[in-house]
Amino acid sequence: MYNEEQLIKAIEQSFKMYKLYGARSTAKLKPIHKFVADTLTEIYGKSFEVHFMGDETKEMTVDGKYYPKNIDITVTKNGEVVFCLGIKFVTSNYKQNANNYFENMMGETANIQALGNLSYAQLIILRHETPYYKKNETETPSKIEIVNDKDIQKYLNLVFDYPQAHRPNYIGIQVINVNEVANKVALTNLDNSFSAETSKLLNGKLSLTNFFKEISEYKDFLITKE
DNA sequence: AATGGGCCTTCAAAGAAGTA
DNA sequence: TACTTCTTTGAAGGCCCATT
């Protein structure tokens, strides 16, 4: 099941790779993707297959309602897709691109869930203090952006919307603090950083503990249909 | 088996628009 | 008018596949 320590280690590894190889390298993706894939493998068990981008493995192309798309993590049973999950780990310049991230995620979700027979989940990792870099100045940030309630609100609006194709069935959000010098990652103390209400939701409904719990329950449901 | 063009995807970054 | 947010554009990596 979900292991918080492992998550932090995976994010730390991903962040290291990001610093080492840059934003464009897939090296950044692999540790965190592997962590999620491993967690899903544990949840789903031997009769399911988990596809993701690893050193030996590739992402799966899923036929969406509108177009085929590579999905970060795909769970299949006998080759048939039963569950999809997308991951986003933003390391810089968040506010400038926040709408793009959100809209892309909705589009991807709709493309999959509009098929009608499978579930899509989105895992989002944000830095509470996110550096903003200008081009060719990737060493010293020109400012630090604070991820706040408003940045989270759009995701709350979405996850509590009534069920329709573009609403992911599961959203998990983890806000982190990164020590750039030591390459250390810590989970943000939400109570000090967000309103009481937002904090409560981030600690509850949107927490990764609950995220994987709900995914696990969905798997239990899938089994009952066999 | 190597080379390289074309295309897709992701992650920014610049400039525009909005707002206090 | 300075700061924030939004929209559009660009850059780079990787994959597919034709050509050699």
pLDDT, one tens digit per residue, over A129-169 is 888 887 666 666 777 888 888 888 889 889 998 898 999 99
Q: Of A117, A113, A42, A126, which Cα lies nearest the Cα of A87?
A: A126
Say how many residues make up chain A.
Answer: 226
Stretch among A47-61, A118-132, A153-167 having the lowest mean pLDDT: A47-61
The DSSP result for A12-73, as a single string, is HHHHHHHHHH-TT-GGGHHHHHHHHHHHHHHHH-TTSEEE---SS--PEEEE-SSSEEEESE
Give the integer Cα–Cα distance in Å for A177 and A184: 8
Tokens for A96?
């400038």
pLDDT, one tens digit per residue, over A198-224 is 899 999 999 999 999 999 999 999 999
More confident residue, A11 or A96: A11
pLDDT averaged over every residue in chain A: 87
Confirm if A33 and A27 have CB atoms less than 8 A apart: no
Confirm if A109 and A71 have CB atoms less than 8 A apart: no
Tell me the domain boundaries of chain A.
Answer: 4-224
Which nucleotide is nearest, taking the CA of residue A154 and each C1'? C5
Terminal Cα distance for chain A, rounded:
23
Q: CA-to-C1' distance for A135 and C1, Å?
A: 25
Which nucleotide is nearest, taking the CA of residue A138 and each C1'? B12
Q: CA-to-C1' distance for A18 and C5, Å?
A: 26
Give the integer Cα–Cα distance in Å for A127 and A176: 5
Q: Of A155, A179, A159, A182, which Cα lies nearest the Cα of A169?
A: A159
Buried b / exposed e along A57-71 (16+ C-beta atoms within 10 A): eebbebebeeeebeb
Please check the confidence at residue A23 and state whether its pLDDT lies above 90. no
Q: How far is CA A161 from its chain centroid?
A: 19
- In percent, how much of chain A has pLDDT > 90? 34
Q: CA-to-C1' distance for A103 and B18, Å?
A: 20
Q: CA-to-C1' distance for A141 and C3, Å?
A: 17
pLDDT at A135: 66
pLDDT at A139: 66
DSSP, res A208: H
Q: Of A163, A92, A164, which Cα lies nearest the Cα of A126?
A: A92
Footprint of strand C on the protein (CB under 7 A): A 22, 24-26, 58, 95-100, 143, 150
Tokens for A152?
């989270």
DSSP H helix total and E strand total for chain A: 7, 10
Which nucleotide is nearest, taking the CA of residue A29 and each C1'? B10
Which chain B nucleotides are covered by protein, judged by CB under 7 A?
A: 9-15
- Closest CA to the C1' of C13: that residue is A24
Which chain C nucleotides are covered by protein, judged by CB under 7 A?
A: 4-9, 11-15
Please check the confidence at residue A94 and state whether its pLDDT lies above 90. no
CA dihedral A24, A26, A30, A32 (to 10 degrees): 20
Neighbours of A37 (CB within 10 A): 23
**β-bridge mates for residue A146, sequence order:** A129
Which nucleotide is nearest, taking the CA of residue A18 and each C1'? B11
Q: CA-to-C1' distance for A117 and C3, Å?
A: 46
pLDDT at A137: 64
Which nucleotide is nearest, taking the CA of residue A23 and each C1'? B11
Overall average pLDDT of the A36-51 stretch:
92
